[in-house]
Structure 1
Amino acid sequence: MSETAVIIEREGPVGLIGFDNPPVNAASHALRVGLKEGIDAFAADAGVKVIALYGVGRSFVAGADIREFGKGRKEPLLNALITEIEALDKPVVAICHGYALGGGLELALGCHTRVAIAGLTVGFPEVDLGLLPGAGGTQRMPRLTGVTAALDLIPTGKRIKADEAVALGLFDTLTDGDPRTVAVASGQAVIDGTLATRRTCDLSVDVDPEVIAAAKAKAAAKGKLVAPMKAIEAVAAARLPIAEGLAEEVRLFQECLAHPQRAALVHAFFAERAVAKIPEKDATPREVASLAVIGGGTMGSGIATAALIAGLPVTLMEVSDEALARGRGTIEKNLAGALKRRKLTEEKHDAALARLTTTTAVDALAGADLVIEAVFEDMDVKKEIFRKLDAVMEPGAVLASNTSYLDIDAIAAETGRPADVLGLHFFSPAHIMRLLEIVVAEKTAPEVVATGFALAKRLGKVGVRAGVCDGFIGNRILSHYRKVADYLVMDGASPQEIDSALEDFGFAMGPFAVADLAGLDIGMMTRKRLAPTRDPRERYVPIADRICERGWFGRKTGQGYYLYGDREGPNPAVAGIIEEERAEAGITPREITDDEIVERYMTAMIAEGARVLEDGIAQRPVDIDAVFLFGYGFPRFRGGPMFYADTIGAAELVRRIETYAEDDAFFWRVPPLLARMAADGTTFADLDERA
């Protein structure tokens, strides 16, 4: 036999096929070849009465091999192999531990009985990549569990644990033990008749059209994703004879494969891994055994919560006992929420809370390995804090600022250890949002950058390397394209029309709803800070200022662009403010379509993204995509702004900008990078490949 990613051996009458393809036994070509060789050999061996499949290491089979994405498919194909296994005269038992996901779970469903080892997680994550299970999952699961259970897992990507899988009928029995040992014992149990076997394809299932219609309505309400709808159609095909149902599954799978959403979702999947490739990747991170957080407001409390959940001891500092009590209360509320959502057990919840220490004395932070300043955006306050930290922190401690906009170089210059200083820009709520911009100042040491990425990984965040400028990657780009929304309001659209158009495009919330959620006073503070540097040629829209002057800051005050509480809906008074400002500026409002809203908004986002790349603030286009996917609610099925830019094309983007510049030549300027790309026909994907 050829060298493969499997172990093929016999234990008496039990033929064993062990998957050994680290790290997670992905269903690679090598694994499929080995499985095929093992099945063929044991099928021809009269001494083998039963075949048992199991996983070596961490998992049974945790899905497809992502390294094969985008490459030609090589036989044996998994769907044909599973059908061959199901048709064997000799019984085949699947022993699943760790993870059995996607194709791994489909392989198990094609076996004649399934044994789950405690701790197993199963599911069909294909929809997260814009696909559906293409190796029989949509046909075999309904036959085992019924349609309702199948619709709960397959179109959603939901994962479940072993006990639930057994309760649903997806697995036949639950046990403990080493997978190989269980495989031998289970094989013998099949021979002895104490473990029953059957072919899933021989089962039938009733498919209620009303249940299918309800599932489609539920999927449609969640957005414009194609794969969940196709997956529901595939499950509905389980009413057909198995061969016809499998053919329909393949047809629907191919439709998903050809759809643009699939490429965008795969790009988003890989983006999370690509951003970890940084110039400092070979540097050794400093040990972080304890953390300190300065500031017990919403952001500081969220950061502390994330660290506590990750198992780190945290010291929280505030200026007064009253502020500390509020901060501790917020953390307790956050942890209680995690407990309620089952992100924490009672034991882990109590242990996390026990790791929290509070203080009003900066000296009490001295023993922390990393301290994160998370006070409000005031440069003088931050500089004072870093001068104090410089005096009390031990040598080698990492000093980080959670600033959203301010100059990390200027903050680092207040210390005698600028190499130890970096930005760690969390996104609110910090214990939930996954993005962490790791801002590298001019003198930040490589091992300090590596420490930031190690912390991001420990906290379950997606760390993205950013350079120093006003707003770094995300907020710098946001500050540019957000102006377009204000311009569109002045020119004729309502805030609600803009929000609706962009939500229809795929954003979770439109820009005006987001502004209300964040607090309109936050934006006002930024505008005031930047006012002295504003170019007189820049078009300025004062509508938000007029709203803030009335004390309306959004959700926190019960009204902003929208009304909250008992008066849900658009704030009618804002329409009057808009009319007044249009009249003051001499603007006659015009009709603006949803397509124009999206095109102008996205073109501005992409243009500033190109400038961020030119300036070296982001290393690669994929870094920008990751920032917006994980921090700004960019629709995942569109891949990120720079991926989306390639679907438009550089030449078209340049044409748009030049057209818009006829009315506003200051704002609408073609970035040199985009002009070069339009001239030579290159894409942002090309830049990612070269990086």
Structure 2
Amino acid sequence: MTFLDHDDAVVSCDVTSGVMVVVIANPPVNALSHAVRLELIDSFARVQSEPGVHAVVILCQGRTFSAGADIREFTAAPKSPHLPQVVDAIEACAVPVIAAIHGTALGGGLELALGAHYRIAERTAKMGLPEVNLGLLPGAGGTQRLPRLIGVEAAAQVMTGGDPVLAKDAKELGLIDLIVEPGRLKQAAISFAQDLIVTGTSVRPTREMTCEVLEKTRWEVLKSSVATRAKGSTAPLACLDALDAAMHGSFEAGLAQERALFGQLKSSDQHRALRYAFLAEREVGKVPMITGVAPRGLDQIGVIGGGTMGVGIAASALMAGLGVRLIEVSEDAAHRAEVAVARVLDGAVKRWKLSPQQLDEILEHRFGSDVEYAGLADADLVIEAAFESMDVKREIFSQLDAICKPGAILASNTSYLDINEIARTTNRPSDVLGLHFFSPAHVMRLLEVVVGDTTSADAVATGFALAKRMKKIAVRAGVCDGFIGNRILSHYQKAINGAVLHGASPYDVDQALKRFGLAMGPFAVSDLAGLDIGWANRKRLAPARDPAETYAAFADVLCEMGRFGRKTGRGFYIYEEGAKSGCPDPEVEEIVAQERARKGRTARDMSAQEIVDRYMAAMANEAARVIEEGIALRPLDVDVTLLNGYGFPRWRGGPMHFADTVGLSKILNDIKRFQEEDAHLWQPAQLLERLVATGEGFESLNSI
């Protein structure tokens, strides 16, 4: 017996041997659209009227269970039936309902499964409630059902962290009842259902389970831990409020509290910012230059350089299924690089990103090293990750031009240098582009695809295809010193250095910006990266420095003293052996005071708000220039870059979105106010002035 078999149905039902199999087919991720919700309600209404149905199995077609809400409905008024009604209808079913999960069950998809009485999953499945990543909490009963199944502390971790849970962990927690091997899910689910029928096992509504109540001290510790990790994000704390309601009230009262909290979050600035960031990351790959352009084939790549960056790039490519040949200057260096890559991959096995069998296959068949460039003759793409010197890069690209096959793409991982100048070293400038990875390259999601004056469209398309294969977010960038991210970084670094010269300590700056939402303050980040890196770049740029610039030299003084940050034990902070973080150093404040005296500056008190205002004004102003010059195509390209590569707080949406939120007139007024102290640094971008004059925001420039 088959129901809902009309041509445009997204839910089908088939009854065999007393088991109704309900199948959702809404590609690509079985989003719970209005049509899906409507047909699910209809399907479970039919269960009640079919005497031959003694159990129900919910399955999804394609590569995954449901990944949650339909993003096309994000900005539209919700239509009935709403997801909570669907989940309630499933839970109220008079016969046992089994959710059979493969791929991912995320957000509303997992809440749908929580409405079932039993859950089974393929061994490779993942489950999670990532709503906090959109500034929300689960709004279809997830905050009330999950703690009843797995306990309050485990539920808090799942909801406030937003990360998915592997099937094996879900089984241990009590979230699922059975793990099956891939490919056997439907058969296993029907067998599970028939066993329930034979044994007369009844329904098991989660709402009827008792929720544990944490002892007060444990609850306070949990709240403190979540607040620390949230770093200003409100959604994780709202999840705890919903869990508190689950512990101390009825299921119905908890649902009411969940809905109230969901409504508050949905109307908040944080949700708007996080929704914007989510959608921006889907728009950033839509680049006119490569629309309809097919990428070149990618199978084998080369990586030149076995340092931290080269190792990370190689590991990321290997985990993406590519073959990699890594080139170093000596046999010893090549061996060290091989060991380092293997160590990264072994870490991926421990985190269940790779299986031991996959690791063996990679090391035996897809990865090797060499000391001769001849080993790159068959590479489809070569990524140079050598020392940041134009002379070094010219030499490398000259050799690659002679050795690599026609059509091979030659890419530089340079952070600052001119891709056009590098391309001119070769006889194939159309094949040359920048692929600026961020360290550690096997972890960081951002990849700037730097397009030179002569770079071909299919080479650019291949860069974006590589990013997708590596599960990275690619942003198209034009050629200038530092491209998008590092150019803006250089400008706001000058602004916060100026704040220090006018009276703030480096530690004041770090604390103010951490309270703003950064995971680390900029001076602590410099220590982590190594102060010598920035020092080398400043020395490179010194001959072109404008004499009118107020140059802050205190970081150079630290470098001259051999203080390069964490790796030397001292930088802006002092790092005791084994300590997780550094301690402020009074000697740094003396060095700063001496520089103020040399420049004739009198220190004044500076509020945390002024520090943030300087940081944001400098960032938004330079970003406006970057957009005006075409280095970034749109404001959203800047936002995606700063969110994924530079630690800008995601719940603020990115610097351009945040500037729109506070008002571009405020940003411009701040620039004019700071101009009174440093007219050279604080020059308003023409684009910013034009947008203020017309009453528009950066958002108006996001359509191309």
The TM-score normalised by the length of structure 2 is 0.94
**Deviation of 1:436 (Å):** 0.8
Quick check: 1:174 aligned with 2:198?
Answer: no
| CA distance in structure 2 between the partners assigned to 1:292 and 1:7 by the alignment | 48
1:217 pairs with one of 218, 224, 229: 224
Structure 2 unaligned spans of 5+: none
Structure 2 residue 301 is matched with structure 1 residue 294: no
Task: Tell me the residue number matched to 2:498.
Answer: 487
1:363 paired residue number: 374
CA-based RMSD of the aligned residues comes to 1.9
Match of 1:265 among 270, 274, 281: 274
CA distance in 2, matches of 1:293, 1:54: 43
- 1:195 shift after superposition: 4.9
Q: Distance in 1 between matches of 2:126 and 2:98?
A: 18
Aligned to 2:106, which of 97, 101, 107? 101
Per-residue CA deviation, residues 406-447 of structure 1 (Å, 9 max, x unaligned), is 110111011110010000111111121111110000111111
1:137 aligns to 2:142 (yes or no): yes
Instruction: Give the Cα–Cα distance (whole angstroms) in 1 for the partners of residues 35 and 475 of structure 2.
Output: 34
1:404 is aligned to 2:415: yes
Q: Which residue of 2 aligns with 1:303?
A: 313
Amino acid at match of 1:25: N
Q: Distance in 2 between matches of 1:60 and 1:298?
A: 38
CA contact (8 A) 2:44 2:93 kept: no
Match of 2:209 among 199, 203, 215: 203
Match of 1:237 in 2: 245
Given that 1:301 and 1:331 are in contact with CA atoms closer than 8 Å, whether structure 2 keeps it comes out as: yes
Task: Report SS of the residue matched to 1:155.
Answer: helix
For 2:178 and 2:335, the matched residues in 1 are separated by: 50
After superposing the two structures, state which structure 1 stretch, 339-348 or 473-482, moved more: 339-348
Give the distance between the partners of 1:345 and 1:182, measured in 2 at CA.
24
Unpaired runs of 5+ in structure 1?
none
Partner SS for 2:448: strand
Residue in structure 2 matching 1:637, options 651, 672, 697 = 651
Contact residue 16 and residue 52 of structure 1 kept, 8 A: yes
Match of 1:152 in 2: 157
Q: Within 5 Å, give how 1:558-637 maps onto structure 2.
A: 558-566=569-577, 568-637=582-651
Structure-1 separation of matches of 2:285 and 2:437: 17
CA drift of 1:626 comes to 1.0
Segment drifting more, 414-423 vs 506-515? 506-515
What is the aligned counterpart of 1:324 among 334, 340, 362?
334
| Residues 535 and 559 in structure 2, CA contact (< 8 A), matched pair in contact too | yes
Match of 1:76 among 81, 84, 87: 81
Q: Which moved more, 1:362-371 or 1:580-589?
A: 362-371
What is the alpha-carbon distance in structure 2 between the residues aligned to residue 337 and residue 201 of structure 1? 39
What is the Cα deviation at residue 557 of structure 1?
2.1
For the pair 1:675 / 2:689, whether they are aligned, the reply is: yes
SS at match of 2:120: strand
Alignment pair present for 1:531 and 2:542: yes
- Aligned residue for 1:52, secondary structure, equals strand
In the alignment, the residues of structure 1 paired with residue 186 and residue 350 of structure 2 have an alpha-carbon distance, to the nearest angstrom, of 37
SS at match of 2:160: coil
Q: Deviations over 1:131-176 (max 9, x none)?
A: 1111011111222223233223222223223333233222233345
CA shift, 1:348, in A, is 2.6
1 CA distance for matches of 2:660 and 2:167?
Answer: 42
Q: CA deviation at 1:180?
A: 4.4
Q: Distance in 2 between matches of 1:455 and 1:89?
A: 50
1:64 aligns with 2:78: no
Secondary structure of the residue that 2:161 maps to in structure 1? coil
| Aligned equivalent of 2:557, options 526, 541, 546 | 546
Letter of the 2:491 partner, please give it.
H
2: CA distance, partners of 1:397 / 1:228? 47
User: Are 2:257 and 1:248 aligned?
Assistant: yes
Contact 1:55 1:179 in 2 (8 A): no
On the 8 A contact 1:284/1:447 being kept in 2, the answer is yes
Structure 1 residue 329: deviation in Å?
A: 3.6
Structure-2 separation of matches of 1:537 and 1:107: 63
Shift of 1:405: 0.6
TM-score normalized by structure 1? 0.96
Q: Match for residue 376 of structure 1? A: 387
Contact 2:41-2:89 within 8 A present in 1 as well: no
One-letter identity of the residue aligned with 1:453:
F
What secondary structure sits across from 1:443 in the alignment? coil
Alignment-mate amino acid for residue 645 of structure 2: G
Determine what percentage of the aligned residue pairs are the same residue: 50
Between stretches 419-428 and 291-300, larger displacement belongs to 291-300
Does the Cα contact within 8 Å between 2:117 and 2:205 map onto a contact in 1? yes
Instruction: Assess, with a 3 A threshold, how the Cα gap between structure 1 residues 468 and 96 changes in structure 2: closer, same or farther.
Output: same
Indicate how the Cα distance of structure 1 residues 578 and 597 shifts in structure 2: closer, same or farther if over 3 A, else same.
Answer: same
Does structure 2 retain, via aligned residues, the 8 Å contact 1:6–1:34?
Answer: yes
Aligned residue pairs, count: 690
Amino acid at match of 1:200: T
- Alignment of 1:49 with 2:54, yes or no, is yes
Q: Deviations over 1:222-257 (max 9, x none)?
A: 122211111111122123221111111111111221
Q: Which amino acid aligns with 1:23?
A: P
Query: Equivalent residue of 2:258, what SS?
Result: helix
Amino acid of the residue matched to residue 89 of structure 1? A
Measured after TM superposition, the shift of residue 671 of structure 1 is: 1.1
Q: Does the Cα contact within 8 Å between 1:11 and 1:184 map onto a contact in 2?
A: no
Match of 1:357, SS state, is strand
Cross-structure match for 2:194: 188
Structure 1 residue 178: deviation in Å? 4.8
Instruction: Indicate whether 1:315 and 2:321 are aligned.
Output: no
Deviations 1:465-501 (A, max 9, x none): 1000111000111111100111111111111111111
User: 2:375 & 2:185 partners in 1: Cα distance?
Assistant: 49
Q: How does 1:412-423 map to 2 (within 5 A)?
A: 412-423=423-434
Give the letter for the 1:517 counterpart: L
Gap change, CA 1:93 and 1:349, over 3 Å in 2? closer
Tell me by how many angstroms 1:650 deviates.
1.3
How far apart, CA to CA, are the structure 2 residues paired with 1:37 and 1:227?
33
